[in-house]
Amino acid sequence: MDADPPNNVSTPDRPAKRRRGWKRIFSISIIAAFVLGIAFSSIFSVVMDWTSTEEFCISCHEMKDTVYPEYQMTIHNKNRTGVRAVCVDCHLPKGFFPKILHKIKATNDIWHTMLGSIDTPEKFEAKRAELAQREWLRLKANDSQECRDCHKAEFFDIDIQSSARAKKQHQEELLTKKQTCIDCHKGIAHREPEIPDPGEAEEAVSPDTAPPPDSAPE
């Protein structure tokens, strides 16, 4: 019977084996991170697109039954050319980071929907002025950027504008940057709420006009 051949295979070097193991783990981690990154990006893109649609904006009755019917009656919804400006065109910034920041802030709307802050027409009307002023301030702060995304002031043909007042305002205020679009066009797509003038409010309760507390009408 032949004798077994001598074992010439050396024992694997443990540090080398350990390095190969770490390389394998690292490679798998890179591939997993790449796959998860693609999946997250895809989901993120779908969610961003979905929450930026007109259908999503009016999915709650607070919007569908109040400001949306007002918008439907405006030229931004229906006009001779068929070019529409939907909710996100006016209320959502186009830039990536401003859009993300605005989306984060908008989560506050979800909270108030759960609380029922404006879940009836009466509650909505009571908050309309506050909501409108908040949006006016936002547009004032960014120089009406959402308006300018479509309406390029530098390309206005002032001569063919039909309104003499518009010509004057655009030349003297808009093109000179003294005012921005929202200063004059607050009720362009929704009913403009009545905002009491602070001076009038103070005058209404001033000591000179308010009756004495104990006085009775004659």
DSSP 10-75: PPPPHHHHHHHHHHHHHHHHHHHHHHHHHHHHHHHHHHHHHTTSHHHHTSSHHHHTTHHHHHHTST
Q: Do 135 and 32 have their domain in common?
A: no
The pLDDT, as a whole number, for residue 22 is: 84
Over residues 4-11, mean pLDDT: 52
Q: Do 93 and 50 have their domain in common?
A: no
Q: Do 31 and 105 have their domain in common?
A: no
For the stretch 99-137, pLDDT in tens is 999 999 888 888 888 888 888 889 999 999 999 999 999
Asked whether residue 44 is domain-assigned, the answer is yes
Q: Do 65 and 152 have their domain in common?
A: yes
Q: Do 96 and 157 have their domain in common?
A: yes
Over residues 75-79, mean pLDDT: 94
The pTM of this model reads 0.72
Q: Do 69 and 150 have their domain in common?
A: yes
Question: What's the domain count of the chain?
Answer: 2
Q: Do 155 and 108 have their domain in common?
A: yes
Phi-psi category of 156—alpha, beta or left, where left has phi over 0 and alpha has psi -120 to 50? beta
Say if residue 213's pLDDT is above 80.
no
- Name the residue among 136, 174, 182 with its Cα closest to residue 153: 174
Asked whether residue 3 is domain-assigned, the answer is no
Q: Do 119 and 173 have their domain in common?
A: yes
Which residues constitute the domain of residue 74? 61-192
Q: Do 47 and 75 have their domain in common?
A: no
Q: b/e map of 52-67 (b: 16 or more CB within 10 Å)?
A: beeeebbeeebbeebb
Of 57-66, 76-85, 195-204, the poorest mean pLDDT is in 195-204
